Chains A and B, each alone.
Chain A
């Protein structure tokens, strides 16, 4: 019984240990700093730190205080991280989260806190902003479908693929990626006779490998990290050599750096992404150089996560600058500024948002190539400008197709 009293005094003590500072503007950051995505989440934080450093750590004479909280890719953890930032640290602006289902959860949460503005980090689920959007949830970036813009057309018209099978993880982000690919590929005349949905962290793909129809021209693979490595290894070892088309996180430096035998299979494989490591525009070169200078022990180049968290934080800082750091009206003026905000994004295009507060982005079709030293890299082969969330389609038609799922879209 006494122990409960001790616990109570411990609570009181820690309450005194975390005072809030009145003059600073607190920006909460939610990223994944534990588990399989920790390296990616860390890069997201680097993006935020770059944006704050660009602003000199200050906005309209107020110091910026960053409070970083970790989630673990689960919606529950993102919600409790956000509540902690809002209720304990008094953050009125939150940048984050990283992963798809976390974004959906924070979109729902934002309705309970109308005075708080949540600016998405890198989460890419479609319905976060497309269906039932929230007034105070912004995404200065694309969703998983926008990140595939250009790839379906390229695969059909340039590569000449007619039939493609799909292997992807079984959750909201890959569904969205598959929709982005299939929307273009099917309307160009291609067909998708088979889709295989696998659980995250699956190790044995043999049943999938042998079920893929023999007559397909290519396989669209939307798997991340170790899942991509396991699948490609087992597929190659089974003796198949059907060409690969990659999702945004499949053709990633971590997969390309792997020494496995499947690497030859990947050379020439196309993929879609908003962030190309070797892109030669002046803005990206400058961004990349600043990144390497600030974070000597960071990745070889800013990842999709550093890029997107940077844009989220940059939007927050530009908005704060415009309202003179004043959020005393519950952030109304701040959000009004964000709605009309336009700025140059690190890849050189102009970032702006639509009426659902989702970014209109430039996307890249990339391909894997072998560098002179034998390592694999990616290079941009096409830039698709001004991709909106409905992929250029009429809003009603796009919404009428229904929410993404295992079976939607379909063109067997």
Chain B
């Protein structure tokens, strides 16, 4: 029931708002939220902070651009029912590969390995013209047709992004309760004990990364349809840090935290320049982000839950996650 209290207003919002709010704010936040969700998932349940989630989104995005319509005359156009599975399989395979490489590292070492992979992929897309079309990348990557219009129009894309977000949240919730998901959390809590029980840790880690690749890839495909383009800039260090910021300010405790972080980040990114002298708008963004991290060390999502708890009084308080 509680979920419908959120979903119904979200479904009605497009009726109240203009195209700009629907596409540039809400849709963009949902797409970034999906990509950040894949990072939150790994950080929360596997205990590994991965900087390569934008890379995974980029793999799926580039695949859709390469195997779909584009205006740069590169790639093989395939029907959607072939190109979409290819894109998602590629991002899952890339995720599994990264998991395999990073399986023995934790903490700062895992961060370094995944960051190195992300940056290497960025430079590779920038230099490679045969597959990635170098610096310029792919443009004119339009979403599939739907009746009169196109899935990339503001309303359809919003509902598509909303649907994908809901599916991803449900998938994550389901995954962490499954035996495999429990094994992933066991790897996080006590890898030594798991090994002592005779369960190898490699498979859960690779599976968790592959699953995060599926989520990040879904976000990556939506992002390409939203931007109608993909280039080396889409997988650069800027987006990598953006996604990390979104996960952190939203909070890692619950999958929906990523979406809260995303909406706050998108609004700041768009409107900070209106609120302050245009030479200094990044200063405002930085200060707000710093304030959020200091005031809400567990993220905005947890902060909001705490406030609601306080408002309801202490009677209902003793409930922990």
B315 within 8 Å of A by Cβ?
no
CA distance A1 to B9 in the complex (A): 12
Contact among A1, A12, A132 for B6, CB-based, below 8 A: A1
B227 within 8 Å of A by Cβ?
yes
Q: Sort chain A's interface into a size bin.
A: 35 or more
Chain B nearest CB, measured from A138 CB (Å)? 20
**Could you say which residues of chain B place their CB within 8 Å of the CB of A3?**
260, 300-301, 303-305
Determine whether the beta carbon of A108 is less than 8 Å from that of B139.
Answer: yes
- Given known A7-B263, A101-B231, contact A87–B304 (CB-CB < 8 A): no
- Given known A1-B6, A108-B229, A172-B135, contact A6–B270 (CB-CB < 8 A): no
Contact among A2, A7, A170 for B264, CB-based, below 8 A: A7
Chain A nearest CB, measured from B29 CB (Å)? 9
**Could you say which residues of chain B place their CB within 8 Å of the CB of A76?**
227, 229, 231, 233-234
CA distance A42 to B304 in the complex (A): 39
Determine whether the beta carbon of B28 is less than 8 Å from that of A80.
Answer: yes
Contact among B6, B25, B127 for A4, CB-based, below 8 A: B6
Determine whether the beta carbon of A74 is less than 8 Å from that of B238.
Answer: yes
A33 within 8 Å of B by Cβ?
yes
Determine whether the beta carbon of B273 is less than 8 Å from that of A69.
Answer: yes
Determine whether the beta carbon of A105 is less than 8 Å from that of B260.
Answer: no
Determine whether the beta carbon of B305 is less than 8 Å from that of A2.
Answer: yes
CA distance A14 to B266 in the complex (A): 13
**Could you say which residues of chain A place their CB within 8 Å of the CB of B126?**
170, 199
Chain B residues 15 to 58 lying within 8 A of chain A, measured CB to CB, are 16-21, 23-26, 28
CA distance A328 to B278 in the complex (A): 30
Determine whether the beta carbon of B127 is less than 8 Å from that of A171.
Answer: no
Determine whether the beta carbon of A33 is less than 8 Å from that of B278.
Answer: yes
Determine whether the beta carbon of A68 is less than 8 Å from that of B273.
Answer: yes
**Could you say which residues of chain A place their CB within 8 Å of the CB of B298?**
none
Determine whether the beta carbon of B279 is less than 8 Å from that of A79.
Answer: no
A-side binding surface: helix, strand, loop or mixed?
A: helix
Contact among A7, A33, A69, A104 for B260, CB-based, below 8 A: A7
A15 within 8 Å of B by Cβ?
yes
Chain B nearest CB, measured from A32 CB (Å)? 12
**Could you say which residues of chain B place their CB within 8 Å of the CB of A10?**
267
Contact among B10, B20, B71 for A83, CB-based, below 8 A: B20
A245-279 to B contact mask, C-beta < 8 Å, 1/0: 00000000000000000000000000000000000
CA distance A83 to B303 in the complex (A): 33
- Given known A1-B6, A3-B300, A76-B227, contact A18–B134 (CB-CB < 8 A): no
CA distance A33 to B303 in the complex (A): 33
Further contacts, 4 of them, CB under 8 A, given A7-B263, A74-B238, A75-B139: A6-B304, A11-B26, A87-B18, A87-B23
A residues near B, CB below 8 A?
Answer: 1-8, 10-12, 14-15, 18, 33-34, 42, 45, 68-70, 72-77, 79-80, 83-84, 86-88, 101, 104-105, 108-109, 132, 170-172, 199, 405-406
The 8 residue pairs across chains A and B that have the minimum distance between CB atoms: A3-B304, A87-B20, A74-B233, A171-B135, A88-B20, A2-B308, A7-B263, A4-B6
B residues near A, CB below 8 A?
Answer: 2-3, 5-6, 9-10, 13, 16-21, 23-26, 28, 71, 123, 126-127, 129, 134-137, 139-140, 227-229, 231, 233-234, 236, 238, 256, 259-260, 263-264, 267, 270-271, 273-274, 278-279, 281-282, 300-301, 303-305, 307-308
